Amino acid sequence: MNENHAQINPVCHQMLNCRLTGNITPISWFRNILTGSGKPDVVAIILLSDIVYWYTPVMTRDEHTGDVIGIQQKFQADKLQKTYQEYADIFGFSKNQIKNAIDNLVSQNLITREFRHIKTGSGLAITNVMYIEPNIENIVKISYKSRSPQKAGGYPPKKLGDIPPKSLGISPKKWGTSPQKVGGHPPKNGGTYTETTTEITTETTTTTTEAAAVDLKNRFPKSIRSRIPRIYQDHKDVLDSIDTYLKTHGKPYVTAELDYAIHNSTKDGGFPAFLKRSLESGWGTEDLKVRQAAQNEQRILERRQKESDLEALRAEQELLADIEKWDRQIDQKVQETLECISPTELNRIKTEAWEQAEKKTPCLKSQKSQMLAAAKEKLSTLSDPERKTLFEVAKAAVRASIGNLLGDNHPGFHRAVDNQVLKEIQERYPLHTPLADLWNKRVKTEADRILKVMVIRNYGLLKSQSTGESP
């Protein structure tokens, strides 16, 4: 025991007193949680490790017997509630990196993500609150799974007899060569056999690869060659199976089976056997038929939806045309009614309509300032008698309004008179400013509408119209 203790690395001995805590990250995750380019998605791996930590329950034990008497979760809600920004702050990634990693975990069905609308205890409503839950069954699968070679670009499985026993001390590439031929004992002065061995290996490998490439090109068309995984392009069973079914079933059949095997073969090293069974059973062809039927059904549904939309559009256009026709008939009856009304009554309802329109139409910004400026300009062009008359009328109006509160020489009295003069000018003379003209145009439009409504309501045009054609 003391002897073993003396041989331990000093750092390992220091670790006896170091108790680190944190998330658990299986090495296999780096081979199975990948980005679109095939690289390990480190951000997603870190996030999944943290999610698994939060869902690992805390066990409560009896202090006397040590038995588990209860299990508690670490979070409060029914699911773990997190935000992208929280994870960005914890691990130092950007918010966009966190979102992409969560998206990747969801797409691989390793977690589920749910957005909820919630209310806090104070009654505050919060929308799009994210809740996360791990898919334990799929996480266990990738935790004890190696990456599929045809998907990851690894090496094909070696057959029995490919590797010589370790006791011989011979490189697998030199299998069949005696140790004496390789060189026996190493030369003196630190010499090695690296240079000689490298030359032989490179030459052999290059020749074999070129021959395999030429054979593959001669045997299969390009559409088939491009579908065969790179690591199986010199695999005898794979090539023979493809060659046989190309001759008996044709290129479309083999293409469908190759595509199906590539996307559905997940067992390590199982691609050749899976492809063979697929070629024998026609799995890919059946799958292609199902997908084509689904696509045809989708096209039929889209065509029907398009026809339905066109029919609805035609019906809407017909309805609008009927409404427009009905409006023209109403306008014609309103015009006929106005022609039959006496001038006195017509002026009365027009005046009433205009007054209502003025109240409903808000003044435009800077309209008053433009009118005051136009009134001042008009005042400067008036003759002396006209100005004198205006000031007398304004003084009388001010005195009637404020009484004897201010004397004739008081500055406030003079300001009130000046303002009253400008009002009198606006009422007596037609002043034109851009904003005033625009406002009057809007008032006229509203007054015409109100007049139409008044005539329809007062003379029962709507009732008479409803007895005829209506939309």
CA 258 to mean position of chain CA atoms: 34
Distance CA 223, CA 205 (A): 26
- Residue 160: which pLDDT band, with cuts at 50, 70 and 90? very low
Q: Are 460 and 330 in contact (CB under 8 A)?
A: no
Distance CA 195, CA 3 (A): 43
Structure tokens at 272: 């050749």
User: How many residues make up the chain in this entry?
Assistant: 471
Distance CA 364, CA 440 (A): 11
Q: Report the b/e string of 338-350 with b at 16+ CB within 10 A.
A: beebeeeeeeebb
Least Cα distance to 462 among 319, 321, 324, 326 occurs for: 326
- Mean pLDDT, to the nearest integer, of 260-279? 86
Higher pLDDT, 459 or 74: 74
Structure tokens at 460: 């029962």
Q: Are 35 and 106 in contact (CB under 8 A)?
A: no
Distance CA 233, CA 227 (A): 10
| pLDDT per position as a tens digit, 37-50 | 889 999 999 999 99
Q: Does the structure show a pLDDT above 90 at 97?
A: yes
Higher pLDDT, 319 or 461: 319
Q: Does the structure show a pLDDT above 90 at 428?
A: no
Structure tokens at 299: 């096209």
CA 185 to mean position of chain CA atoms: 67
| pLDDT per position as a tens digit, 293-309 | 888 989 999 999 999 99
Higher pLDDT, 272 or 7: 272
Q: How much is the pLDDT for 214?
A: 63
Rounded to 5 degrees, φ, ψ at 204 are -65, -45
Q: Does the structure show a pLDDT above 90 at 460?
A: no
Distance CA 279, CA 254 (A): 7
Domains of the chain in sequence order: 2-145 (1.10.10.10), 151-281 (no CATH), 342-466 (no CATH)
| pLDDT per position as a tens digit, 412-421 | 888 888 888 8
H/E run at residue 315: helix 283-340
- Residue 112: which pLDDT band, with cuts at 50, 70 and 90? very high
Residues in a beta bridge with 125: 119
Kindly report the average pLDDT of the chain as a whole number: 80
Distance CA 211, CA 96 (A): 48
| pLDDT per position as a tens digit, 362-391 | 888 787 888 888 888 888 888 888 888 888
- Mean pLDDT, to the nearest integer, of 333-338? 87
Q: Does the structure show a pLDDT above 80 at 238?
A: yes
Q: Does the structure show a pLDDT above 80 at 465?
A: no
- Mean pLDDT, to the nearest integer, of 87-103? 94
Q: How much is the pLDDT for 200?
A: 43
The single-letter DSSP state of residue 40 is B
Distance CA 198, CA 163 (A): 19
Structure tokens at 283: 């799995």
Least Cα distance to 32 among 110, 142, 137, 140 occurs for: 142
- Residue 183: which pLDDT band, with cuts at 50, 70 and 90? very low
- 0.85 cut: is pTM over it? no
Residue 81 CB coordination number (10 Å): 16
Q: How much is the pLDDT for 462?
A: 67
- Let me know the angle formed at the C-alpha of 375 by 373 and 380, rounded to the nearest 5 degrees: 100
CA 346 to each of CA 351, 445, 451: distance values in angstroms, whole numbers, following the listed order? 9, 17, 10
* Amino acid (1-letter code) at residue 31: R
| pLDDT per position as a tens digit, 189-198 | 444 444 444 4
Give me the residue label for tokens 């025991």: 1
Rounded to 5 degrees, φ, ψ at 144 are -125, 35
Determine the straight-line distance between the first and last CA of the chain, rounded to whole angstroms: 103
Q: Which residues, including other chains, have CB under 8 Å from residue 406's CB and lie 6 or more apart? A: 412, 413, 416
